[in-house]
Structure 1
């Protein structure tokens, strides 16, 4: 396990599928110039997914091989597919930037929190069930995938109280602003207005 330095932080975005956690994470990441740690997944790409940008899409066989080689810092199974982030990616990101972010489900978020304690800051991103459903339909997701995600919705929402912060995402700009302000306190970059 990688040993985190004093100022290192891992920002985890979690919440129900369709809540916009990936969009929020990327907007905040760009604001702060943070490195994103991209998960490896065995599921097929969905409409809008870009390999190497949203996920690393790999076969079950390759995933299992990487797991046997203990490459994953966290690994979870969701509906028969595997998701994991590589320890090496976390280490490289932290060495270069000191602060990284990733998008994980509640199980993955718990694994990192249990490993690194207060170095992991979880932002729970959520929207109401109808909004989530509408967003996923607009993305062009298959109806069976939408229904599968909605079947997890209440379970995912229960995790909200376990996270350090919860942000409702009805407006991307507002959610990004709120999270950015909160992160300033954690990162203590010492920004001083010289005027």
Structure 2
């Protein structure tokens, strides 16, 4: 059985990553979203085991010390991390996994799983990114400026991904991310494992 593929989606805040990921998951039942652990409190409407696994800071740091995470990072004072054992179990069973993480986490995943596939989502311009952040209407001016500064740093790592999607028109961007996953599944080495019996029969 062919192992599943790890897809790592990275983007600055406001680029539309969450919308793209939701559209991909709705269109493709063979891929599932990795659920991260976090030390931050649950927000209104968030569900344990669906949005995140919520643990306190001490528990998270204990998990770091035990080597439980495939990747982890501290963002705006809160920890976020991905369970290594769970990811390994899922891909060994042939399922594809999608991770929504920052560039630091993406580097950690790539180091442990060089065959993982990086997808970087960019806004069409800096002005558009700032406009989208302001349109949310939930951040203070200070937070918006912090996010813009962090976005510029994050976008400096765009060359580390195998695929880059410019999210100017959401329908086009959705088609792009679905196409990336389908193309990766059609790679010769993966098809050779997945359809080994057929390939052998056709050669006979």
Q: Which TM-score applies when normalising by structure 1?
A: 0.82
List runs of 5+ in structure 1 lacking aligned partners.
191-195
Question: Per the alignment, do residues 70 and 46 of structure 1 end up closer, same or farther by CA in structure 2, a change over 3 Å counting?
Answer: same
Q: Deviations over 1:38-79 (max 9, x none)?
A: 122223456776554333333212211222232211112233
Q: Give, in whole Å, the separation in 2 of the partners of 1:6 and 1:129.
A: 40
Give the CA deviation at 1:120: 0.7
1:17-166 → structure 2 map (5 Å cutoff): 17-33=13-29, 34-45=31-42, 51-117=48-114, 119-127=115-123, 128-143=125-140, 144-166=142-164
Structure 2 regions of 5+ residues with no counterpart? 192-204
Secondary structure at the aligned position of 2:110 is classed as helix
Q: Which moved more, 1:99-108 or 1:133-142?
A: 133-142
In the TM superposition, what is the alpha-carbon distance from 1:115 to its structure 2 partner?
A: 1.0
CA contact (8 A) 2:3 2:94 kept: no
| Residues 46 and 155 of structure 1: CA distance in aligned 2, closer, same or farther (over 3 Å) | farther
Question: Counterpart of 1:65 in 2: which secondary structure?
Answer: helix
Please state whether the residue corresponding to 2:50 is helix, strand or coil: coil
How well do the aligned residues superpose, as a CA RMSD in angstroms?
A: 2.4
Larger radius of gyration: 2
8 A contact 1:13–1:22 mirrored in 2:
no
Quickly say closer, same or farther: Cα 1:93–1:51, change in 2 above 3 A. same
CA distance in 2 between counterparts of 1:58 and 1:140 reads 28
